């Protein structure tokens, strides 16, 4: 069985280091993108069939160059990426922001700091298997 | 136009009017139709015209609604045109011109009427109506002055000269009224400006808190993650049990730090009504038992008892309640934790019961009760500790937060002192009540929580 690939959009270095260490241990293949424009580029490549579709995208909402909602909108705009499973995975939460995310079709909103590593892994596993 | 300028305009205007009224009275003792007298009158009339202009401009500038400016400006211009019309007519005025002037006056009055009509539709009705009265009064005074004073001066008829000083006095009064009105507008504008600034600051604060929340949370994930992995032996077995013990302690502290941070941010968000409760069905008995389990070691360490009672005794009868589990737990936890902290002998008792709201007097309602009776869950946390003075309870009931009791400060030194704030805010956000009872210092305290079922 091939390892499920998770695309992680994250810009905080210590968090990236942790994920790079932990996720391969539990059997996920991961790729980390730290800038919004890289994600937009990646979405384009997925549309053109140059890159494979990830099983799940973990999307940080506050990135140095843009916010996650724009990325979410971009993904939902095209039929090829419309059905990608995208979880907001962030530490930034406000009810207005959450409403916008839900409106744009986010699959789940996770507050990083609220979960232990184990719980995060469980949630991801469950998300992939669905 | 700033306040000092407006104030000066009105002051100078008032002085000129007073001078005018006095001079007009004395000048008209003999009938004047000589060139030197004409010059003097012309100078005075010019000055009056200029200050009337100032007067209207001041009023116009102090009207906050733009659409009201046009009728006002038009009526002002016509009022002043009437004055100038007399300057260029040193012949005795024919009756047709009088009619024409009267029509002009009616037209300017119409402008004011439009202003009145609009003022009823605007939010600042009181103010605009006052401006209307002021302006129409001004126009009335100008027109009557022209017809009964200036016209006789020109035509040489003196029987209505006494109108001069009276009208001048009335105009003086209206100028004072105008001064107070514009002063009121200034106060209003200042208040509006402050409200706007406050709004901006509040928004900036909200934004700051949200970004603070993000930044404070960010390091928690790797911190918790690495500690978790170390403790699980991901990086190899720990030989020294002391290190493991300390790491477990650190993990607990990270969790405490995180929950403290979350609670503080929650309080802020509840206060600005941005936060929504995460309601779920919950058995309050289990929730309280969980808290007791967690805090029992702390109580036992101090040699205190920690009891849970339900009323009636059979705890199974407590119904399931919809509430935000985490926050209610936090609220009760803080009350119990405080009770343990401020008690040195005896212990802490938690009591939970369901109470029906007192029914309406039966004579008021014939037939079935129109509203379902509300039920309340009441939880009491009583201790045998230091107790609270009445003024401290009042202080607490007024919601003066982040302050610890005087005795608590003396006896227990510095502490976080926010437990109570957390409890108050979380209970309030559920539509519940929280209050304290104590017979005074040394006699223990009971905190009551009341939640709608």
Q: Which of B214, B224, B275 sits opposite A91 (nearest CB)?
A: B214
Contact at 8 Å (CB) between B16 and B47? yes
Torsion angle of alpha carbons A110, A111, A117, A121, nearest 10°?
0
Task: Identify the pLDDT of residue B362.
Answer: 47
Contact B210 A15 (CB under 8 A): no
The DSSP bridge pattern shows strands A86-90 and A108-111 to be parallel
Which residues from A are below 8 Å from B229, CB to CB? 21-22, 117
Task: Identify the pLDDT of residue B123.
Answer: 47
For residues A75 and A86, give the distance between their C-alpha atoms in angstroms, rounded to a whole number.
9
- Closest residue by Cα to residue B10 from B49, B46, B59: B59
Out of A82-96, B310-324, B402-416, pick the least confident: B402-416
For residues B60 and B175, give the distance between their C-alpha atoms in angstroms, rounded to a whole number.
14
Question: What residue of A is the nearest CA neighbor of B211?
Answer: A92
Tokens linked to A117: 């590593």
The DSSP bridge pattern shows strands A86-90 and A56-59 to be parallel
Contact at 8 Å (CB) between A18 and B225? yes
Q: At residue B3, does pLDDT exceed 50? A: no
**Taking residues B297-305, what's their average pLDDT?**
89
- Give residues 211 to 250 of B whose Cβ lies within 8 Å of A: 211, 213-215, 217-222, 224-226, 228-229, 234
Q: How many CB atoms lie within 10 A of CB B24?
A: 21
- Closest residue by Cα to residue B161 from B169, B170, B150, B149: B149
Tokens linked to A92: 């930034």
Backbone angles phi, psi at B324, to 5 degrees: -80, 100
Which residues from B are below 8 Å from A92, CB to CB? 210-211, 213-214
Tokens linked to B358: 């007192």
Question: Distance from CA of residue A50 to its chain's centroid?
Answer: 19
- Using alpha carbons only, how large is chain A's radius of gyration in Å? 14
Contact B222 A18 (CB under 8 A): yes
Contact at 8 Å (CB) between B134 and B170? no
- Closest residue by Cα to residue A59 from A26, A92, A18: A92
Backbone angles phi, psi at B115, to 5 degrees: -60, -45
Q: Degrees (nearest 5) of the Cα angle A4, A7, A8?
A: 130
Task: Identify the pLDDT of residue B83.
Answer: 54
For residues A61 and A87, give the distance between their C-alpha atoms in angstroms, rounded to a whole number.
10
Contact B221 A92 (CB under 8 A): no
Flag whether residue A117 sits within 8 Å of chain B, measured between CB atoms.
yes
Q: Degrees (nearest 5) of the Cα angle B310, B314, B316?
A: 95
- Closest residue by Cα to residue B335 from B224, B208, B448: B448
Q: At residue B304, does pLDDT exceed 60? A: yes
Flag whether residue A15 sits within 8 Å of chain B, measured between CB atoms.
yes
Contact B218 A91 (CB under 8 A): yes
| DSSP type of residue B147 | I
pLDDT digits (tens, 9 = 90+) for B203-256: 888 778 777 877 888 888 889 889 988 988 888 888 888 888 889 888 888 888
Contact B276 A95 (CB under 8 A): yes
For residues B251 and B310, give the distance between their C-alpha atoms in angstroms, rounded to a whole number.
34
Q: How many residues does chain B have?
A: 453
For residues B20 and B24, give the distance between their C-alpha atoms in angstroms, rounded to a whole number.
6
Task: Identify the pLDDT of residue B171.
Answer: 62
CA distance B218 to chain A (A): 6
Contact at 8 Å (CB) between A9 and A58? yes
Contact at 8 Å (CB) between B325 and B280? yes
Give this complex's ipTM: 0.78
The DSSP bridge pattern shows strands B305-311 and B347-356 to be parallel
Task: Identify the pLDDT of residue A40.
Answer: 92
3-state secondary structure of B398: coil
Task: Identify the pLDDT of residue B423.
Answer: 84
Contact A22 B214 (CB under 8 A): no
Pairwise pLDDT comparison (B43 vs B413), residue with the higher score: B43
Angstrom distances, CA of residue B13 to CA of B39, B77, B172, B173: 21, 18, 8, 11
Q: pLDDT 10s digit of each residue in chain A, 130 long? A: 578 899 999 988 888 999 999 899 888 999 999 898 999 999 999 998 888 889 999 999 888 888 889 999 999 999 888 889 999 998 877 777 888 899 998 998 988 888 888 889 999 999 888 7
Contact B258 A90 (CB under 8 A): no
pLDDT digits (tens, 9 = 90+) for B354-390: 887 655 444 444 445 545 567 788 899 998 887 777 7
Flag whether residue B272 sits within 8 Å of chain A, measured between CB atoms.
no
Contact at 8 Å (CB) between A16 and A32? yes
To which residue do tokens 């126009």 refer?
B139
Beta bridge pairs of residue B433: B450
For residues B353 and B313, give the distance between their C-alpha atoms in angstroms, rounded to a whole number.
9
Mean pLDDT of chain B: 69
Which residues from B are below 8 Å from A62, CB to CB? 214
Task: Identify the pLDDT of residue B170.
Answer: 65
To which residue do tokens 């037939």 refer?
B367
Q: How many CB atoms lie within 10 A of CB B313?
A: 7
For residues B91 and B86, give the distance between their C-alpha atoms in angstroms, rounded to a whole number.
9
Q: How many CB atoms lie within 10 A of CB B149?
A: 21
Contact A15 B222 (CB under 8 A): yes
Q: Which of B214, B225, B258 sits opposite A62 (nearest CB)?
A: B214
Contact at 8 Å (CB) between B444 and B438? yes
Contact at 8 Å (CB) between B413 and B396? no
Percent of chain B past pLDDT 70, that is, above it, reads 47
């Amino acid at each position: 069985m091939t390892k499920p690939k998770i695309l992680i959009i994250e810009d905080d270095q210590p968090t990236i280091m942790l994920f790079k260490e932990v996720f391969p241990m539990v059997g996920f293949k991961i790729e980390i993108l730290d800038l919004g424009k890289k994600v937009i580029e990646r979405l384009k490549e997925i549309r053109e069939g140059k890159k494979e579709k990830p099983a799940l995208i973990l999307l940080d909402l506050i990135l140095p160059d843009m916010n996650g909602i724009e990325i979410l909108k971009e993904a939902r705009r095209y039929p090829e990426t419309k059905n990608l499973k995208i979880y907001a995975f962030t530490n930034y939460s406000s009810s207005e922001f959450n409403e916008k995310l839900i409106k744009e079709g986010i699959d789940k909103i996770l507050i990083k700091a609220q979960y232990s590593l184990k719980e995060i892994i469980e949630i991801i596993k469950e998300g992939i298997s669905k | 136009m700033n306040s000092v300028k407006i104030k000066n305009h009105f002051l100078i205007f008032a002085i000129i009017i007073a001078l005018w009224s006095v001079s007009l009275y004395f000048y008209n003792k003999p009938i004047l139709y000589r060139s030197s007298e004409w010059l003097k009158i012309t100078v005075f009339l010019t000055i009056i015209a200029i200050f009337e202009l100032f007067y209207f401009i001041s009023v116009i500038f102090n009207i906050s609604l733009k659409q009201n400016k046009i009728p006002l400006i038009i009526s002002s211009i016509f009022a002043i045109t009437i004055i100038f019309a007399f300057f260029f007519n040193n012949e005795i005025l024919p009756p047709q011109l009088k009619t024409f002037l009267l029509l002009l006056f009616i037209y300017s009055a119409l402008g004011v009427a439009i202003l009145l009509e609009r003022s009823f539709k605007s939010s600042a009705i009181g103010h605009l109506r006052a401006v209307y009265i002021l302006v129409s009064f001004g126009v009335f005074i100008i027109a009557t002055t022209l017809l009964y004073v200036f016209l006789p001066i020109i035509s040489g008829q003196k029987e209505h000269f006494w109108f001069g000083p009276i009208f001048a006095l009335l105009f003086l009064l209206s100028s004072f009224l105008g001064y107070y009105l514009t002063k009121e507008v200034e106060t209003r504008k200042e208040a509006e400006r402050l409200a706007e600034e406050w709004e901006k600051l509040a928004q900036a604060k909200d934004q700051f808190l949200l970004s603070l929340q993000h930044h404070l949370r960010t390091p928690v994930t790797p911190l918790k993650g690495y500690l978790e992995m170390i403790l699980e032996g991901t990086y190899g077995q720990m030989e020294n049990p002391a290190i493991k013990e300390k790491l477990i302690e650190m993990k607990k502290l990270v969790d405490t730090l995180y929950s403290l941070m979350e609670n503080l941010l929650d309080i802020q968000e509840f206060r600005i009504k941005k936060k929504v409760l995460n309601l779920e069905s919950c058995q309050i008995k289990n929730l309280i038992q969980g808290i007791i389990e967690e805090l029992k070691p702390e109580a036992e360490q101090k040699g205190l008892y920690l009891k849970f009672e339900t009323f009636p005794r059979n705890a199974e009868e407590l119904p399931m309640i919809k509430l935000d589990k985490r926050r209610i737990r936090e609220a009760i936890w803080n009350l119990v934790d405080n009770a343990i902290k401020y008690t040195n002998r005896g212990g802490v008792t938690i009591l939970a019961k369901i109470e029906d709201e007192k029914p309406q007097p039966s004579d008021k309602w014939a037939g079935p009760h129109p509203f379902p009776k509300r039920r309340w869950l009441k939880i009491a946390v009583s201790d045998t500790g230091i107790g609270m003075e009445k003024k401290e309870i009042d202080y607490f009931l007024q919601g003066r937060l982040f302050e610890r009791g005087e005795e608590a400060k003396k006896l227990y030194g510095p502490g976080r002192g926010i437990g109570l704030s957390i409890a108050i805010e979380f209970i309030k956000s559920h539509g519940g009540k929280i209050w304290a009872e104590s017979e005074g210092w040394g006699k223990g305290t009971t905190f009551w929580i009341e939640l709608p079922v």
